[in-house]
Amino acid sequence: MGRPEAGQPPDFIRKIINEDIADERFGGRVHTRFPPEPNGYLHIGHAKAICLNFGLAEEYGGRCNLRFDDTNPTKETSEYVEAIKADVRWLGFAWGEQELYASDYFEQLYEFARQLVKAGKAYVDSLNPAEVREYRGPWNRPGRESPYRQRSVAENLELFERMRAGQFPDGAHTLRAKIDMSSANMNLRDPTLYRVIHAPHHRTGEKWCIYPTYDFAHGQCDSLEGITHSICTLEFENHRPLYDWLLEALQIHHPRQIEFARLKLSYTVLSKRKLIELVEGGYVSGWDDPRLPTLAGLRRCGYPPEAIRAFCEKIGVSKVNSTVELALLENCVREELNRSAPRVMAVLRPLRVVIENYPEDQVEELEAVNNPEDPGAGSRKLPFSRVLYIERDDFLEEPPKKFYRLAPGREVRLRYAYFLKCVGVVKDEQTGDILELRCTYDPETRGGYAPDGRKVKATIHWVSARKALQAEVRLYDRLFRQADPTDVPEGVDWKSTLNPNSLETLDSCRLEPSLAQARPGSRYQFERLGYFAVDPLDSAPGKPVFNRIVSLRDSWAKLKQAGK
């Protein structure tokens, strides 16, 4: 029980559930929910919660509801609802026949509130927000009771009804639970249950002008849906006594709340506020900017959902506030794509190569393996001709000791093609820039094998100039320069840690011709470079634009770095 197939030890949540099942606490049932507020886009931190809740339901043969927490009409829109649904679906989860909304329960919630009033456990307060704060008091001193706290049940009932009827302006009255103004837990100092908000709601329209607070709605919605395990983040631990109190006062089904630490990821930000700041401030192109940790951004960039799910499995779940290294996410992506992505040849920064001893008009087709990790992926033909493009980085006029790619007089292998030797360098007389390489090839090495057993230190990628597809490729890098973008001196804007080089657009890349047919969203490994995906928005038929998802591990780059 508790992901036996994962071969992982159960985390603290699964241990609790295992105990509950053993104790028949909920008749052996497991019913979770993912309760987003439709006021923003989902990010990879939400993915952790989604994978947890839906994953639990799958493992234990239970169910997981998708319920939108839409209790604040001033912030929520159906546009966000649709975006969230798309993200959850993309991750690979289904929530059954219908999606649920807290607003579905407004009438029931109102009735619950009336019950509390009748029981003398809630009252209509008429203090303004500043006064409420004043009466609530500080942590280390008890608060004071509102002068309206002793209103009669009849008066409370009438006032509450009139609040609903729209007879009061915003903020004039609230409904508060009557608990304990001297509690050490601030959440029990008569928390607000209802407030007046004259604003249209994305689903209920003009029907209501009073709305339940999250604290009043959330627990009761879970109860109404028969949720057994209400999994939420650490900051709600302080609220649990309030939720317990409400459920107890109402005498209704009492789910078990379990709190876990939300995800933090290095080199990025996951707070809704900061994400909005980046989007609205124009620091990125939108919610789906491939540099953003939003699910929309990751999807657009080309991240496979399987990799995100694997990541969520690997990070585990606990109550410790912690930051996961971006490298782990990248590792999950590489692991998934190494298995599944077809390999292709692409030259990002082309350097022209002329093979002097290769016949002018000859074109050959050479066999290339599609994925060495997957024999079933088959192979394809690559056109080869006299003029080629290779990567500029693969040639150095004066190679340092550990560099074993192409250099004057040196021989390397062109992947799946021939051995190639550099016999000359053509430069711009003015600038000294290298314009092209003059080379010779060995016809005996077709396919890349030397019959004489001669060895070569490097194999490099290439694209036939004549048949190449020219394309734009976007190189994305981490959005911030430091692991914790918010770690800035007092008074310094955290956005000053943005990485100015997080996007590099290359527009004269040369790709093997088969890529003209690449479908939007499809993922490839550009051999020796990294994993890339066809941008779903900016690509046109026959004219793909590629986004770099993640680079390949690059031990040469590491060496170079270390040498400096």
Q: Which listed residue (75, 85, 262, 446) is catalytic?
A: 262
Chain positions 24 to 63 lying near RNA, rule: CB under 7 A, are: 37
- The binder of RNA chosen from 18, 77, 115, 192 (CB under 7 A): 192
Is 85 one of the catalytic residues? no
3: left (phi over 0), alpha (psi -120 to 50) or beta: left
Select the span of 123-131, 286-294, 301-309, 509-517 touching RNA (CB under 7 A).
Answer: 123-131
Q: Which of 458, 465, 488, 506 binds RNA (CB under 7 A)?
A: 458
| Residue whose CB is less far from RNA, 80 or 211 | 211
Q: Which parts of 234-253 interact with RNA (CB under 7 A)?
A: 234-239
Distance of CA 533 to the CA centre of its chain: 16
Using CB under 7 A as the binding rule, whether residue 454 contacts RNA is answered as no
Contact pick of 93, 267, 287, 403 for RNA (by CB under 7 A):
403
Closest CA to 156 of 122, 109, 196: 122
Q: Which of residues 358-387 bind RNA (CB under 7 A)?
A: 371-373
Residues 309-368 that bind RNA (CB under 7 A): 314-325, 327-328, 330-331, 334-335, 338, 343
Show the 3-state SS of 369-418: ECCCCCHHHCEEEEEECCEEEEEHHHECCCCCCCCCCECCCCEEEECCCC
Binding status of residue 230 toward RNA by CB under 7 A: no
Q: Dihedral through CA 162, CA 163, CA 168, CA 170, nearest 10?
A: 180
- State yes or no: residue 527 binds RNA (CB under 7 A): yes
State the pairing for strand pair 264-265/323-324. Answer: parallel
Selected from 184, 363, 426, 537, the binder of RNA by CB under 7 A is 184
Catalytic residue among 121, 136, 149, 272: 272
**CA distances (Å), origin 61, targets 103, 252, 253, 498:** 28, 24, 21, 44
Dist. CA 82–CA 217, nearest whole Å: 22
Cα 557 from chain centre: 27
Q: Please report whether residue 528 would count as binding RNA according to CB under 7 A.
A: yes
Segment (H or E) for 470: strand 469-476
Which of 80, 211, 267, 287 contacts RNA by CB under 7 A? 211
Smallest gap from residue 530 Cβ to RNA (A): 9
CB nearer RNA, residue 138 or residue 541: 138
- Using CB under 7 A, pick the residue from 53, 464, 525, 539 that binds RNA: 525
* Stretch binding RNA (CB under 7 A), from 233-241, 278-286, 502-510, 535-543: 233-241
**Does residue 72 bind RNA (CB under 7 A)?**
yes
* Count of residues engaged in binding RNA, rule: CB under 7 A: 91
Q: How far is the CB of 178 from RNA (least distance, A)?
A: 14
Pairwise CA distance, residues 131 & 154, whole Å = 24
CB of 236 to RNA, least distance (A): 6
Cβ atoms of 71 and 103 closer than 8 Å:
yes
Write out the binding residues for RNA, residues 465-524 only, by CB under 7 A: none
**Which tokens belong to 264?**
């933090």
Q: What share of the chain is helix, strand, coil (3-state, %, to 5)?
A: 30, 25, 45
* Candidate residues 92, 96, 120, 129; the one interacting with RNA per rule CB under 7 A: 129
Q: Is 212 helix (H, G, I), strand (E, B) or coil?
A: strand
**CA dist., res. 494 & res. 488, Å (int):** 6
CB atoms closer than 10 angstroms to residue 79: 10
Annotation says 262 is catalytic:
yes
37 a catalytic residue: yes
**Least distance to RNA, CB of residue 193, Å:** 9
- 89 makes contact with RNA (CB under 7 A): no
Q: Which residues are catalytic?
A: 37, 262, 272
